[in-house]
Amino acid sequence: MNTQKSLKFPRVSAPLTLAFAATVLGLLAAGAWRSSTAAESASADTAAAAPTDAALIQRGEYLARAGDCIACHSAPGKPAFAGGLPIDSGHGLIYSTNITPDPAHGIGRYTEAQFADALRHGKRADGQHLYPAMPYPSYAKVSDEDVHALYVFFMKGVKPAAVTPPATDLGFPFSQRWAMGLWNWFFTSDQPFRAQAGWNQQVTRGAYLVEGLGHCGSCHTPRGFAMNEKADRSDQARFLSGGELGGWEVPSLRGLPHWTDKDIVDYLQTGRNRSAAVAGEMAQVVEHSTAHLNEDDLRAMAAYLKTLSPVAERSAAVKPQGATETQRKLTAAVDLTLGERLYLDNCAACHFVTGQGAPRVFPRLDGATVVNADSPSGLLHVILAGASTPSTDKAPSVLVMPGFAQRLDDREVAALASFVRQGWSNQAASVSERQVSRLREHLEAQPAH
């Protein structure tokens, strides 16, 4: 279960936040107003009348996994789907709601049409707009058939929970839910899924899952000034080209040139593959969502990601000698720099002097995405706080990387991280002591996991 107190929602920088606030205020002053449509009277197909069909419920449950509904709609110690997880919007906390079929506290009174509106268009049964902390811009691509199965699952396959999550109370102007209608109008395409010419059946299935239920773009696509994803379709070059999440650089998924299809499937299914291990927010995605998908769907996602043209590489492989050079220096162990010495003392036991680690046990540091990211935050986060892979059906053992926050000071972590980012064939920028101390403060301010 998710033991983290809150999921991070990508933040926007202060001046841009103000720009958004000014837009909203301007619209308020201009008297722009959208009357919310009155709640449709919940009649025929409410909880009581939904069809029971074991196969349909099972399909709906699978789709709820693909959509990772549980990641946001469950809070530690609370029943599944009863809501209450705080999501940091950058302007205050947005609480996920109770989506169990309880008629008073959950969505038991939602008709299928109202459920579809919430899921695909961010509209509540009472006509109010949802905040896009709920990934409805992606779910807009979910087919009618899948919405139906999800509806049946939530009405018949989920236990009602009489729990009221804390109310979302954002400050003005973000408290103005109607403004999200304008936001939707400006920033979301609200289009159903469309296959592109040249896609075979497998790629089409993968694209449908990644663009839609998987809402992979909510983290892997860069965000604009109003938290909007800058692209939501496969034919847009910025789609899945990499984002940022609480200072952690989220890698591009376009083409994944360093991985085979099997590497991608292994990673999504087990949180590890022959060269990497999952860390950060992606660990939760694997644990609650992708590890539960069947092999065909994971292969389809991999095949689809492989069709996307990669983001232009920063001059890769201009350091062919690097790997042997670093290995030789660490093996000889004379005239070591501070970073090299710290690596030998603290890291080499698991990641080895080759920086290659061991397949499916210790991830490779030579060429690793997190090591070579423009921002060193992910790497520093792992060094200071450690990381562990989720336990999945196919790979139940948990791989643990210890944290070094207690053992190494800021100067040492900076020297070590700089060495790792420039050792072997890596060639990312050095890390400063200041960057380490900032991240350390950030981690200390976070609630304990």
Residues 258-297 that bind ligand HEC (CB under 6 A): 264, 267, 276-282, 285, 290
Nearer residue to ligand HEC within complex by CB, 26 or 92: 92
According to DSSP, the β-strands at 7-8 and 86-88 are parallel
Residues 190-229 contacting ligand HEC, CB under 6 A: 210, 214-216, 218-220
Choose which of 155, 303, 371, 431 interacts with ligand HEC (CB under 6 A).
371
Question: Least separation, in Å, of the C-beta of 408 and ligand HEC?
Answer: 7
Residue 143 CB: number of other CB atoms within 10 A? Answer: 15
Angle separating helix axes 14-29 and 179-187, nearest 10 degrees: 120
Give the contact letters, 378-407, x = binds to ligand HEC (CB under 6 A), - = no. Answer: xx--xx---xxx---------xxxx-x---
Max CA distance (Å), the chain? 79
Concatenated DSSP letters of 282-301: HHHHHHHTGGGS-HHHHHHH
Peptide bond into 79 cis (omega under 30): no
Stretch that binds ligand HEC, among 64-72, 192-200, 317-325, 439-447 (CB under 6 A): 64-72
What's the CA gap between 396 and 311, in Å, rounded?
Answer: 34
Question: Which residues inside 403-432 make contact with ligand HEC, applying CB under 6 A?
Answer: 404, 416, 420
Decide whether 29 or 336 has the Cβ nearer to ligand HEC: 336
Of 224 and 402, which CB lies nearer to ligand HEC in the complex structure? 402
Among 67, 137, 157, 181, binds ligand HEC (CB under 6 A): 67
Q: Is 250 in the site for ligand HEC (CB under 6 A)?
A: yes
378-to-251, 306, 348, 371 alpha-carbon distances in Å: 11, 24, 19, 8
Count of residues engaged in binding ligand HEC, rule: CB under 6 A: 75
Task: In whole angstroms, give the CA distance from residue 62 to residue 181.
Answer: 30
Residue 43 CB, shortest distance to ligand HEC, in Å, is 18
Among 140, 158, 227, 253, binds ligand HEC (CB under 6 A): 253
CB of 333 to ligand HEC, least distance (A): 16
Q: Roughly what angle, to the nearest 10 degrees, separates helices 410-422 and 377-385? A: 130
- Minimum distance from CB of 342 to ligand HEC (Å)? 7
Residue with tokens 């992708």: 290
Among residues 47, 194, 252, 220, the alpha carbon closest in space to that of 135 is found at: 220
Binders of ligand HEC among residues 86 to 145 (CB under 6 A) are: 87, 94, 96-97, 99, 107, 115, 118-119, 124-125, 130-131, 133-135
Q: Which is nearer to ligand HEC, 125 or 163 (CB)?
A: 125
Evaluate whether 223 touches 229 at the Cβ level (below 8 Å).
yes
Residues across the chain: 449
Distances from the Cα of 430 to the Cαs of 26, 292, 312, 354, 372, in angstroms?
43, 39, 22, 20, 11
Binding flag, residue 300, ligand HEC (CB under 6 A): no
Report the alpha-carbon distance of residue 368 to residue 275 in Å, rounded: 8
Residue type, 33: W
Per-residue burial over 189-218, b = 16 or more CB atoms within 10 Å of its CB, e = otherwise? eeeebeeeeebeebbbbbbbbbbbbbbbbb
Choose one: 11-19, 42-50, 62-70, 182-190; the region binding ligand HEC (CB under 6 A). 62-70
Shortest spacing between CB 81 and ligand HEC, in angstroms? 9
Q: For the segment 176-195, give every residue that binds ligand HEC (CB under 6 A).
A: none
According to the binding rule CB under 6 A, does residue 254 interact with ligand HEC?
A: no
Q: How far is the CB of 94 from ligand HEC (least distance, A)?
A: 5
Instruction: Give whichever of 157 and 378 is closer to ligand HEC, judged by the CB atom.
Output: 378
Which of residues 22 and 361 has its CB atom nearest to ligand HEC in the complex?
A: 361
Helix (H) or strand (E) holding 250, with range, is strand 248-250
Q: Which is nearer to ligand HEC, 15 or 288 (CB)?
A: 288
The DSSP symbol for 154 reads I
* Pattern 31-60, ligand HEC, x by CB under 6 A: ------------------------------
Query: Contact letters (x/-) for ligand HEC, 336-365, by CB under 6 A?
Result: ----------xx-xxx----------xx-x
Interactions with ligand HEC, residue window 144-163 (CB under 6 A): 150
What 8-state DSSP symbol labels residue 379? H
